[in-house]
Structure 1
Amino acid sequence: MKILHSDPKTGTLKIRTDTLDDLWHLEKVISEGDEVESHTFRTYKVGKTEEKKPVKIRIRAERVEFAKSANRLRVLGTIVWGSPEEFVQMGRHHTIEIGKGDKVKITKQWKGHEINRIKQAEKESKKPRVRIIVMDDEKALTAILRAFGVEYGPEFRNAGSKKDEKYEQAERGFFGKIMAEIERHPEKFIVAGPGFAKDNFKEFVKKRNPELLDKITFENVSYAERSGVNELFSRGIIEKIMGEERFEKEMKLVEETAAEIYKDSGRAVYGLPEVKKAAEAFAIDKLLVLDEYLRSDSEVEEVVNLADRNKAEIVIVSSEGDAGERLKGLGRIAALLRFKMREP
């Protein structure tokens, strides 16, 4: 995500979306009554025929839908402005579709946690999102997925030949270089390739550093070339891994909070009344709230805004993952505290 323009006086933010995660974030910040502006198409009738004309339209949002199957965010609302005027009918309903790479302007009364969410999404987009290695018996090509695209890294070669007596020694050296590359970076890795090379590498890692396997996903692709990286995209594997990573981070925080609650340590609270007390006492370090709960209850929103003003970290947990289900069992809102509110 890239913030292209910001005007706090008018509440206008112009954004370029770069990833599917960006669409997910926008779904959580666009609410009913917000104004959304983007380039789109309107059907224009000329005699008995209909033509689609490119237009720029601003609508007042009534409903927001994240269409995962189409990788699009759909914002339905009534038209409040448009250009060219001859192709736009004020007050009529229209759906703006936002995809990766699109620019959109949002005008609203921004809440602190919403602005922080957008800024954090922009910050995260600059970091490597996932690292990729496509490999066969002879070579391994590395790549880094960033928000702006794929950046290719070093290539490792197997110095041996299967005809050589010392081939196994050369293969171990080859695998050792790949393993060292994975150990150097904190991000998740996808290791893919044709044949058995990746499977043999998996066994190599299993014997030497089995914990490393926790951050590696193994996949099949046709070639250990750039076309193999493209194949991972076309099959939806990259997006799946990135979505799982977000859910894993949320689950880790929910589990940490739940553990403190079950220990009765006094370092965590749950349920709106207790979280509200903690927010009023400036005691919240991290606040976890279910996304659908935040959007549907004004009192929850007030508590989140208060915690945000008090410099708490706000974590909006997706209701779609396991972390969301777990948080529902904790009253849909919980918090880790800076200090104990009471003695355990």
Structure 2
Amino acid sequence: MRILEIDERRGLIEVLLEVPEDLYYFALFIEKGDIIYAWTLRQLRIERTTGSERGERVKVYIGIMVEKISYHKFSQKIRVTGKVVEAPEDLHIKGSYHTFSLGIGESVKIYKKSQRISKFIKELIKRAETHTRRVLILSIGEEEIAVGVLSPIGINVKSVFGYSPKKSLATKSLREAFQPVLKKIIERVIKQGSERYDEIIVVTTEKLLKIVEEIIADLGVKARIIKVFEGGLSGIYEITKRHDLRQLFVEIRGFYENQEVEEIIKRLSREDNKVVLGIENIENAAKWGAVEKIILLEDLLFDDELRDKVLKILDEIYKSSGKIVIVSSESEAGEKLEKLGKIAAILYFPIQQSF
């Protein structure tokens, strides 16, 4: 994400959305009541003596007061709905509703309703500005291949497909069976992704390791090759859990999410009185400046009823130098946190809880 302008006196943030991860962070910047400006398409209405008619769709720059925010991870769009507060006079749309559908390559201005930029938002800006390291991962099994992308906001599996090695009476070796079909697949996947990613990782089983190494060398591709117990989709998830590959995932969200949630579960099993569950209990702890760390499911930040309350809690936690961990709802850690009520916290000191 490129930050084009920040004016703390007016609560203004202007950003350029550059990569898919930016959409996630941008969706967290916005709150109900903020005013955002962007270019959009709007249909003209033509007034005639017989009544009004729909005209052509034109590109216009307008501002709306935010009422609803939707983040669509798979379509790579953010939809923001609200009443139009500023628009060209000839459109006659002030006061009507409009929805921005924002994607990569678009610039947006946000005027915060509070006319201030909270510590939580400032921290998000720092994270969003950091260079986005994207890793293409190709996991090769003996019957299945999976292609995924590792990025700072998690793991996104792009495709999983089966394949069949060449088997016939003339096939005399493992290499003859697998090499021709795997070479075509590897070449196609890497050619499509090599220019868009900072690193390419190929994972495969011990049985196919030498064959894959030879193919990568023949193609002249710079890639890291890692041996796993099982390829395909299982291979992708296996490497995210391996402690010997910890450094590889320093910037990858899922690895640390799982560690943080596991720490909560361990503490709960020991009946640690500095672990708090439930949004009401955590809200109370945040008011006392008692929260050392909060772990929450990202769904809470896009819940129309809870979003404002959650953002206020996070801002309070930043004021007391607490740490915030946002967990993907689609991750293994997210499934575990869902069972704990979507939100948990570790306190600096124990406080009385309501049950």
**TM-score, scaled relative to structure 1:** 0.62
Give distance in 2, aligned partners of 1:36 and 1:91. Answer: 15
1:55 is aligned, of 56, 60, 74, to 60
Give distance in 2, aligned partners of 1:112 and 1:97. Answer: 27
**What SS class does the counterpart of residue 5 from structure 1 fall into?**
strand
Query: 2:61 corresponds to which letter in structure 1?
Result: K
**What SS class does the counterpart of residue 267 from structure 2 fall into?**
helix
- Please identify, of 70-79 and 259-268, the stretch whose mean Cα deviation from structure 2 is larger: 259-268
2:106 is aligned, of 102, 123, 130, to 102
Q: Aligned residue for 1:250?
A: 257
Give distance in 1, aligned partners of 2:151 and 2:269. Answer: 39
Give distance in 2, aligned partners of 1:70 and 1:146. Answer: 17
Shift of 1:80: 0.6
Q: Aligned residue for 1:78?
A: 83
Give distance in 2, aligned partners of 1:247 and 1:145. Answer: 9
Query: 1:128 corresponds to which letter in structure 2?
Result: R
Q: Percent identity?
A: 29
Shift of 1:318: 3.7
Give distance in 2, aligned partners of 1:306 and 1:341. Answer: 16
The aligned length equals: 261
Q: 1:255 to 1:189 in 2, by over 3 A?
A: farther
Preserved CA contact (<8 Å) 2:202 2:226: no
- 1:15-36 Cα distance to aligned partner (Å, 9 max, x none): 1112222212222332322211
Q: Aligned residue for 2:322?
A: 312
Shift of 1:257: 1.8
- 1:53-105 Cα distance to aligned partner (Å, 9 max, x none): 1110101122222234432111111111124x323521122111110121011
Q: 1:189 to 1:286 in 2, by over 3 A?
A: farther
Q: 1:199 to 1:256 in 2, by over 3 A?
A: farther
Preserved CA contact (<8 Å) 2:67 2:80: yes
Give distance in 2, aligned partners of 1:200 and 1:260. Answer: 47
Q: Aligned residue for 2:220?
A: none
1:121 is aligned, of 100, 111, 128, to 128
Q: List aligned pairs for 1:176-325, cutoff 5 A.
A: 189-191=200-202, 197=212, 205-206=226-227, 214-215=238-239, 245-266=252-273, 268-272=275-279, 274-276=281-283, 278-279=285-286, 282-293=289-300, 296-297=305-306, 300-325=310-335
Query: 2:75 corresponds to which letter in structure 1?
Result: A
Structure 1's unaligned 5+ residue stretches are: 135-143, 148-186, 217-241
Q: Aligned residue for 1:19?
A: 19
**What SS class does the counterpart of residue 324 from structure 1 fall into?**
helix
Preserved CA contact (<8 Å) 1:2 1:16: yes
Q: Which has the higher helix share?
A: 1
Give distance in 1, aligned partners of 2:94 and 2:285. Answer: 47
Give distance in 2, aligned partners of 1:58 and 1:332. Answer: 34
**What SS class does the counterpart of residue 70 from structure 1 fall into?**
coil
> Does residue 42 of structure 1 match 2:42?
yes
Give the RMSD, CA atoms, in angstroms.
4.2
Preserved CA contact (<8 Å) 1:130 1:189: yes
**What SS class does the counterpart of residue 227 from structure 2 fall into?**
helix
- Structure with higher RCO (Cα < 8 A, 6+ apart): 2
Query: 1:206 corresponds to which letter in structure 2?
Result: K
Q: 1:279 to 1:33 in 2, by over 3 A?
A: closer
Preserved CA contact (<8 Å) 1:261 1:269: no
